[in-house]
Amino acid sequence: MTQSPPSPPVRFSDEEVDRYARQLVLSEIGGPGQQALKRARVLIVGLGGVGAPAALYLAAAGVGTLGLIDHDRVALSNLQRQIIFTTADADRPKVEAGAEHLAALNPHVAIEPFVERLTSDNARSVIERFDVVLDGTDDFDTRFAVNATCAGAGVPLVSGALGRWNGQVGVFTGRPCYQCLVPEAPPEAETCARVGVVGALAGVIGAMAALETIKLITGAGEPLAGRLMLYDGLAGTSRVAKVAADPACPICSDQAKARRSNAT
């Protein structure tokens, strides 16, 4: 089998070497890992409680291209946890304000904005342009569309969610997929608007999601692939559970893959 040629080396300016100095000295990242970060293209779905802090950390880490997709505008109620925004951003499109702040944080990162809602209709045309997807939305229709597209396109998915005092982060790289974990939308799905959320929890879960994305890109450590980290902010505890593959999953089961193959 013919192997793909190695990626050409990425050049860093003296300013970039200084900027990423604390990562370059890590044996698990070093020069090759930092080059992988600069080549990487990451899509953040939803610039909310999870996506906002994750975007800041990924930009600061030197991810070369960040895609931001969100149809919403900044509200004052967002500022308690979506720390990428300021009071002056109120009523601005989240993607527009977020892109501006990320560019100010790290001008070496290219931002690709999508001021729209991600749906099953546009998911593939957007997602297939990226190497990793980070989903922080609280809408199950969007989550299912993201998962189905990532599974079909072979794009790793980092999923983060939170509410009240609890949060979770998982990584899905094939089978099991997110829909094995959540087969269908709960009839009374909780959202931050309905049940509330402590602001600092968003920072914890967003940072964890960013960390898992960095691990996927650089090959450092062991990503949470097929596993779910559950964090209890009130108790100050966390645990990791294995996600079982659903043999009847409509997205990643052998039958589902066969149906997709026959359809094409």
What are phi and psi for residue 24, nearest 5 degrees? -65, -25
Per-residue confidence (pLDDT) for residue 122, from 0 to 100: 97
Per-residue confidence (pLDDT) for residue 114, from 0 to 100: 98
Cβ burial of 24 (10 Å; 0-12, 13-18, 19+) is middle
Distance CA(18)–CA(66), nearest Å, equals: 21
Per-residue confidence (pLDDT) for residue 16, from 0 to 100: 97
Distance CA(103)–CA(110), nearest Å, equals: 8
| CA atoms within a 13 Å half-sphere pointing along the CA-CB vector of 130 | 32
Per-residue confidence (pLDDT) for residue 1, from 0 to 100: 37
pTM attached to this predicted model = 0.93
Element (H, E) at 44: strand 41-45
Candidates 66, 228, 58, 249; CA nearest to 159 is 228
Per-residue confidence (pLDDT) for residue 187, from 0 to 100: 76
Per-residue confidence (pLDDT) for residue 2, from 0 to 100: 41
Distance CA(86)–CA(248), nearest Å, equals: 45
Q: What is the pLDDT along the chain (264 residues), one digit of tens a residue?
A: 344 556 677 889 999 999 999 999 999 999 999 999 999 999 999 999 999 999 999 999 999 999 999 999 999 999 999 999 999 999 999 999 999 999 999 999 999 999 999 999 999 999 999 999 999 999 999 999 999 999 999 999 999 999 899 999 999 999 999 999 999 988 776 676 778 899 999 999 999 999 999 999 999 999 999 999 999 999 999 999 999 999 999 999 988 877 766 665
Distance CA(20)–CA(263), nearest Å, equals: 46
State CA 63 to chain mean position distance: 12
Per-residue confidence (pLDDT) for residue 9, from 0 to 100: 77
